[in-house]
Structure 1
Amino acid sequence: MLLLWMWTIAASAVAAPAPRTEGQRLRAAQAPNVVLVASDAFDGRLTFHPGSQVVKLPFINFMRTHGTSFLNAYTNSPICCPSRAAMWSGLFTHLTQSWNNFKGLDPNYTTWMDVMEKHGYRTQKFGKLDYTSGHHSVSNRVEAWTRDVAFALRQEGRPTAELVPSQHEVRVMAKDWKNVDAAVAWLRTQGVNQTEPFVLYLGLNLPHPYPSPSSGENFGSSTFRTSLYWLEKVSHDVVTVPKWLPLSEMHPVDYYSSYTKNCTGTFTDKEIKNIRAFYYAMCAEADAMLGQIILALRQLDLLQKTIVIYTSDHGELAMEHRQFYKMSMYEASAHVPLLLMGPGIKANLQVPSVVSLVDIYPTMLDIAGIPVPQNLSGYSLLPLSSEVVKNEHQLTDFHPPWILSEYHGCNANASTYMLRTSQWKYIAYSDGASVLPQLFDVSSDPDELTNMATKFPEIAYSLDQKLRSIINYPKVSAAVHQYNKEQFITWKRSVGQNYSNVIANLRWHRDWLKDPRKYESAIGRWLKAHTTPEAVRRK
């Protein structure tokens, strides 16, 4: 019986979807407007029960009531630039080689917005984009390039919560509010007067943690900052302290992540709950920004003519698994919000299918009635969010029953690959042999504390075979490893004789300066080694 059950699970993981159709025109006489609001670091689990009970998100709730929410939406890479590159290109991370926050799309890459503009849409962008190459700090780049080096150095300040001086301040994230105001002004002065449909994009920084200048000259972003106004939106009695595995029982990649994020020390329950409550309050502020767009559309009589999409590039661990930030395949990091609302979108519909951000590209073209290229990694979400689907058995006719996510950046010392199906989450690392995989039954273990890879080896093997049919991940890992070396060597040459001083004073300076010769020697040995990814080591 057990073997039959495992065969059924494996078969569902490898089932192929029906052939994709070309873009479908909505029934409206004119193609609708589209507004896409994308947050940074918003945990998708907060958009439905029970996560929705922890903080008041009235405008996300409005979208959920009047539109379709995807209960299992995921990032294709849990870090800013690679994730956004997938969303704007419609291609998996390894296909665009968007390896880290420095390596994204070429600035001239044709995005879905470019295609829509070519087909008559008026286009406008405000706020955070972050999907092209060449950005982010030197520290961020060097940390990603040297992740295979046999050392672990703290790269971040200790995560902390900070209350703004003006306790009832509403506009805490001033930069985001400025972009929101600009987007609303554009709708009022230009969007409302358009004779052709428009597509408006608004990128938010919230609820990403704030920079932490108190950590020194070179600092990361480990501050969860908000005001009492937003904290009042949080149901503090349901803010939990997540369960942690003992350090000795953590997966080696998780340990490296926790250490480099400065999270292996002692935290009180009060500290943890404060960080989480402040994060949820930051989510409430992001929801209010979304609300300004929805209210403007309603006031201008555009809401019924506009499809509104809300999502995020990745989530936020907020001290789950002894980590903050993202860079992990755990639910808090990889699960993103995805809600659609507007003409042709079914109201109050919750879709359980696993979907991901590469689906945004074909969805945008489908909304506009533009034929969808067959070489994309994603699938249009319109069939899943309309009356087309009559029952759950039809879901796999429109989208494969799996999604792929991969990670190659800093704070994880092995390339990481996730295959997510309806029940299982399989995570493979590096070459598939040097680092043990993880297997979680997310339905029965939502906290992802029990790795079942050794308990159910047949399921792990089946999912690994499916993963390898999608991506030759050992080959990709080797390519990333070689890329990291080449980029580091080029950078090292560019700083010349100042190399020792520059590398010692990056974000890891507090640890590096304790024994700079030791760490320079470790890098030297790494540069001389062959290109096969090294086994993951702890400090």
Structure 2
Amino acid sequence: MIITLIFLFQIYGQSLCQNETRPNIVMVMSDAFDGRLTFDPGSKVVQLPYINYLRELGTTFLNAYTNSPICCPSRAAMWSGQFVHLTQSWNNYKCLDANATTWMDLLKANGYQTKMLGKLDYTSGSHSVSNRVEAWTRDVEFLLRQEGRPVTQLVGNMSTIKIKTEDWKNTDKAVQWIHQNAATPHQPFALYLGLNLPHPYRTESLGPTAGGSTFLTSPYWLKKVSSDSISIPKWLPIAAMHPVDYYSTVTKNCSGPFTEEEIKRIRAFYYAMCAEADAMLGQIITSLRDTSLLNNTIVIFTADHGELAMEHRQFYKMSMFEGSSHVPLLFMGPRLMSGLQVDQLVSLVDLYPTILDIAGISAVGNLSGYSLVPLMSKSTAFLKKQHPGWVLSEYHGCNVNASTYMLRSGRWKYITYADGLSVPSQLFDLRRDKEELHNVVLKFPDVQAHLDMLLHKIVNYPKVSAAVHLYNKKAFGAWRDSLGRNYSQVIANLRWHVDWQKDVIANEKAIDRWLYGSQLVNVNSGSN
């Protein structure tokens, strides 16, 4: 099937591109980059000269969203061009099959020289055991801290520039590859560079199972941050939080007290990490310019999701709030508009048809996204079907105890959970409430009804939620069976171990009730 699809793409691509020079395509995808930093007023908080360069000479999408605010499912959507419920990319452990056809495969099949470097993270089987177990057991009736408390760490001095060495090494490899291809200009190329920054670092002091809760940078990058421009986000009282947001806050270890200085410091360090990522983008742009390739190269900068950086009393992602779900999306290159800012709602699934459109390859099959070329091209030749006035994001992983669906349409952000009935929905008017502190779902029932009807047309979300619930039980049960007698020891030593050890028996029983329900009750009743 995959071979047949690629053959069809080859035929269509050759017919469209044989009379026109095809541009090179370079994508830099960072991790956990808040899209609001790529335009005003967010862009004033930290110096991002190369993102600013793309903004001034290219097109910036002001309302770009992830299709799932976590690493692997988000990237699965970007690489496949399909919503995560269609590929069943439920969590960081379950995403695309290793042989799934990506847009990069199709570029290669149509004559592009291709290279993928750095963080890919779109196929099944990766990430920690803790991460997958926390996702599987999200419906269990216990509340355990799964992450380390967010902290900051300053390293080096004003001459310490290359902190995330893995990212810098991959950036250097990308630069070398660009120079090598400059020597053979007869073939267009496509380069993907995936960065880990500005994702928080693993907190070493918490042991080998710890997650990433350390915001780490040097004085060199911290100097790029405008301290006076850092805002202290407003928080709802814990008693007023939505139940799912409360679950996220506790499992992310953010329910304790934080001083304003702590919050400001976390945010400053995060922005400094963004500045380091921007410098890596700069290395790519500079190498394209130095090799005289920039004028015939489409440069794309985006991210898999954002970072809350203590907004809504949380860090990390796994949330539909703007800090987590709003991603950067900038294009620059030949035949694209300069200095253009596009208000259209778009999402990462749109990259698949957009890149094929840029390369002159006709998309076949059922894609969830739409080409963005008509929105930013100088040419009027791109007459494709119009992009809808909404975007969909969904989440089924850890740190959230219900499948979550977000529909953005116009001024509204509608968030609903599970079957749409068992957990209260949320509705935010982003025009009046940019901080998303006022849930107006009860105030505007007609808006909720309209958006919920639209959401049902896009995805049968109660059915999807039920499928995820069943998958979680089966996957966890299989994992537990594979451990045999070692199960109790292994599960007690995952990254929730501090809270787990407080009542081991109660936690194991809670899992049994979740797995077996009434069967367990009947067994216990019969033994009394």
Tell me if both proteins adopt one fold, taking TM over 0.5 as the criterion. Answer: yes
Please classify the TM superposition score into its range, dividing by the shorter chain length.
Answer: over 0.9
| 1:352 partner amino acid | D
Q: Distance in 1 between matches of 2:336 and 2:206?
A: 47
User: Do the aligned partners of 1:24 and 1:367 also contact (CA within 8 Å) in 2?
Assistant: no
1:522 aligns with 2:510: yes
Q: 1:214 to 1:129 in 2, by over 3 A?
A: same
Equivalent residue, structure 2, for 1:427: 415
User: 1:381 deviation in Å?
Assistant: 0.8
CA distance 1:465–1:125, change in 2 (3 Å): same
**Equivalence map 1:319-338=2 (5 Å):** 319-338=310-329
What is the CA–CA distance in structure 2 between the aligned matches of 1:35 and 1:360, rounded to whole Å? 12
CA deviation after TM superposition for structure 1 residue 443, in Å: 1.4
Change over 3 Å in CA distance of 1:523–1:141 after alignment to 2: same
Matching residue of 2:457: 469
Indicate which of 274, 285, 310 corresponds to 2:265: 274
2:55 to 32, 51, 64: 64
Which residue identity is paired with 1:463?
A: L
Q: Secondary structure at the match of 2:72?
A: helix
Residue 251 of structure 1 aligns with which residue?
242
Aligned to 1:15: none
Query: Would you say the 8 A contact 1:55–1:280 is kept in 2?
Result: yes
Alignment partners' CA distance in 1, 2:423 and 2:383: 34
Matched, 1:287 2:278: yes
User: Secondary structure at the residue paired with 1:263?
Assistant: coil
List aligned pairs for 1:58-457, cutoff 5 A.
58-387=49-378, 398-457=386-445
SS in 2 for 1:134: coil
Distance 1:243 1:358 in 2: 32
Amino acid at match of 2:441: A
Amino acid at match of 1:329: M
AA at the equivalent of 1:209: P
Deviation digits for residues 47-96 of structure 1, max 9, x if unmatched?
Answer: 00000010000000000010000000000000000000000000000000
SS of residue in 1 equivalent to 2:201: coil
In structure 2, distance between residues paired with 1:478 and 1:517: 28
Query: How much does 1:28 deviate?
Result: 8.8
TM-score normalised according to structure 2 size: 0.94
1:481 corresponds to 2:472? no
Q: Distance in 1 between matches of 2:14 and 2:449?
A: 36
**In 2: Cα distance, 1:396 partner to 1:490 partner:** 46
Q: Which amino acid aligns with 2:494?
A: L
Aligned-partner residue type, residue 369 of structure 2: G
Unmatched 5+ residue regions in structure 1? 1-20, 532-539
CA distance in 1, matches of 2:509, 2:482: 19
Shift of 1:259: 0.2
What residue identity is the alignment partner of 1:475?
K
* Residue pair 2:13, 2:110 contacting (<8 A) in 1 also: no
Q: Secondary structure at the match of 1:358?
A: helix
What letter matches 2:438 in structure 1? T
Give 1:217 shift: 3.8
Corresponding letter in the other structure for 1:261: K
Q: 2 CA distance for matches of 1:107 and 1:218?
A: 26
Gapped runs of 5+ residues in structure 2? 1-11, 520-528
Q: TM-score, normalised by structure 1?
A: 0.92
In the alignment, the residues of structure 2 paired with residue 23 and residue 67 of structure 1 have an alpha-carbon distance, to the nearest angstrom, of 27
Alignment partners' CA distance in 2, 1:349 and 1:339: 10
AA at the equivalent of 1:421: S
Residue deviations 1:144-190, cap 9 Å, x none? Answer: 00000011100011001110134531001100000000000111123
Q: CA RMSD in A?
A: 2.0
Take 1:415 and 1:489, find their aligned partners in 2: how far apart are those partners?
20
Q: Secondary structure at the match of 1:316?
A: coil
Distance 1:324 1:396 in 2: 39
